[in-house]
A and B are shown apart, each in its own frame.
Chain A
Amino acid sequence: GQNIDQPTEMTATEGAIVQINCTYQTSGFNGLFWYQQHAGEAPTFLSYNVLDGLEEKGRFSSFLSRSKGYSYLLLKELQMKDSASYLCAVSYSGAGSYQLTFGKGTKLSVIP
């Protein structure tokens, strides 16, 4: 299988910084995506990494290390509206379709 592992739940304080980790199997790796999903809503695209390093987009940044099969999503200046599930998803080549394999998601709770 192509397990995508991420913590089930995290809690952080409003205004703080939180890092959500994701590990994946490296064979056939073709790109990694982070999505945000609020309860009862569809996933929304946050970031995409295909090369090693950090991609910054406003308060959100995503890091990738292909050799380690590791990524993290960094959320800065947390706001209450950031409470959601964060999904790590990997595209594997050879599948013929660039389908995404998702982790189970990390439920982030932001508290005052």
Chain B
Amino acid sequence: GAGVSQTPSNKVTEKGKYVELRCDPISGHTALYWYRQSLGQGPEFLIYFQGTGAADDSGLPNDRFFAVRPEGSVSTLKIQRTERGDSAVYLCASSYQGPKLAHAQFFGPGTRLTVL
């Protein structure tokens, strides 16, 4: 079956511009996560969706970052007024979501964002 897909695979933009990154999760996975990974570091949590709602956005670094998942499937991460420090690989992951236990998250290939 299809895994998590992300588009674009690479995005180069200029400082101050607006970008959108798209994630298509595994069919049937209700939980969707966005992470950001810088070189030599592990992924860092940004935001979590359970269905259509952002249940936990505590990892978003500031109000320039926003994400939506309007129909409970595809999600878009939006970054306004990009800064050079936003350059990183943005990873999307999805999982089943049980009532108590954590479930394995499956990652997409990521979008490499470069802000010049």
Contact = CB atoms under 8 A, between A and B. Distances in A.
Nearest to B41: A104
A104 B40 contact: yes
A11 interface: no
A98 B43 contact: no
B106 A98 contact: no
A42 B107 contact: yes
Given A96-B55, A97-B56, A104 B42 contact: yes
B45 A100 contact: yes
A43 to B, nearest CB: 5
A31 B107 contact: no
Contacts of A109: none
26 contacts: A4-B42, A31-B101, A33-B102, A35-B107, A41-B109, A42-B109, A42-B110, A43-B91, A43-B107, A45-B106, A50-B101, A50-B102, A87-B43, A95-B56, A97-B50, A97-B55, A97-B56, A98-B102, A99-B45, A100-B35, A100-B43, A100-B45, A103-B42, A104-B40, A104-B42, A105-B40
